[in-house]
Structure 1
Amino acid sequence: MKYFYSFIVVVLFQMTFAQEQAMFYFDNNKFELNNTETAKLQKWISENSASKILSITGSTDEVGSSGYNDTLSLKRVGYIFNQIQGKVNIRADFKSISLGEKGATSANKAENRKAIIHYLLEKDLDKENEVLGIKEAEPEVIIPEDATLEEKVKLSKVGMKIVLKNINFYQNTFATMPESQGTLYDLLFIMQNNPELKIEIQGHICCIDKDYRNLSTDRAKQIKRFLVYNGIQDYRVKTKGFGVSQPIHPIPEATPEQAAENRRVEIEILSKTR
């Protein structure tokens, strides 16, 4: 079973409402339990075979050097682990925490010589990640390259970027060429039919070392002008120019095709309802 030891200054493990803990106490300078505590541990094991252990924390009193106490609490954790291994379920990312004398929180030295098992009861295992504050990874969104712009926007999540295909400008200007009209009206249609959709239009240029004339920003603003002129509220459309700071291919580009891919307009989804 994979586990590792961590030496820390403060307690790393924050207990939540559904986590349980069991404490076992050691005699002075001992890392094995006496007969009374051994019986207590065995009883706990028999009652918790279906529970799941999250971590074990060991501590000592303040007698002795800090180095000695660190080692002693480490041995206490290891002893408890060896007793429960194979008898109680243990998380794959189980943590073994050695506090040494830093775990001495009681004025009674005997109460500081302990190991604490943090665990979940069987009834709480169905919400294990929720209890531990672990968010399940969302499935990766795969958008087909040949999907329409409307389909891409529908499939996208907030933060995703979509290249606007066939948006072209006259050389060294922000005036769009006639072949751009189809994509512009597609975008307008999408904005009209998704009133909660907010986007940022992002301009990129190619072929030079710096956007001296801020052309990438002007091109993004030109797309916004089209949308606003046709009734889209100003606040729903932001603009930004990236110049040549985010090329798809290294500059200078090796081919005209690479230059065309660097010279692009994208939209980033800022908010949407569906």
Structure 2
Amino acid sequence: MKRFALVSMMFLMSVVNAQEKFTLHFESGKHDLTKKQTEVFNTWLFANKTSKVVAINGYTDEDGTNTFNDSLSLRRVNFVQNIITAHKLKIREDFKTRSFGEEHNHSKIKAENRKVVIHYILEKDLVKEEEILGIKPQVVSDDAIVPIEEEDMHFPEGATLEEKIKLSKPGTRIVMKDILFYQNTFAVMPTSKRAIDELLMILDKNPKMRIEIQGHICCVREDKRNLSLERAKQVRRILEGNMIPGKRIKVKGFGVSHPKYPIPEANEIEAAANRRVEIMILSK
């Protein structure tokens, strides 16, 4: 029991320590850096081109009025932030700056309280960024996901499936144009192998990714045999047969309720667009 507690404590310490801190010191009453501190800052900037800044906090000593110190700490934060922005370092979308003025003095030596502290995460630790920051992932019900049509994502022309998925967010639908079936059956044609292999590779590389396979048919007024669902299920069977857990794959058949073109279609091009398999990203 004691050993388990020790291991847990060591794990928590490693997570906390994964958030790095870098401190810059200022002269009394100044919001810009001395030549020596500028050199220190430039060295840090060069060494952290791939790090991500998560917060910048500013402090002052007790000299001067509260109002002056509050303003001074804010100017120090803004000075540092502008330089970081100019060097194009990564910054969290919910990045925060805080100016504490003369509050939160941790040292009796005044010079040590005239500072700005940059909180950041090294590139090697970015995979556990949310964990390091103590942010619990929001659990969104699959039913609450709003579908986004592929054309509304404006993917780059010629983008591969992997590239599209990287640019996608939950709800994005992607048409699997090369997954084809024999007429009036859910038997997958051999020419579909490359597209399915690509999807398998992506799912294997992204073990947290979940998708919904959506089937659609064409050319009829009603999906009486539920063929669209059976086709989606058949794709899932193939993925499961290649070691992708079924819990990561939902299926749905839309029949002819979501056509790209009005039914009856005017030509085979429209029919082919309606007769399709799509994947919808549930989570990545």
State which structure, 1 or 2, has the greater radius of gyration over its C-alpha atoms: 1
Q: TM-score range by the shorter chain?
A: 0.3 to 0.5
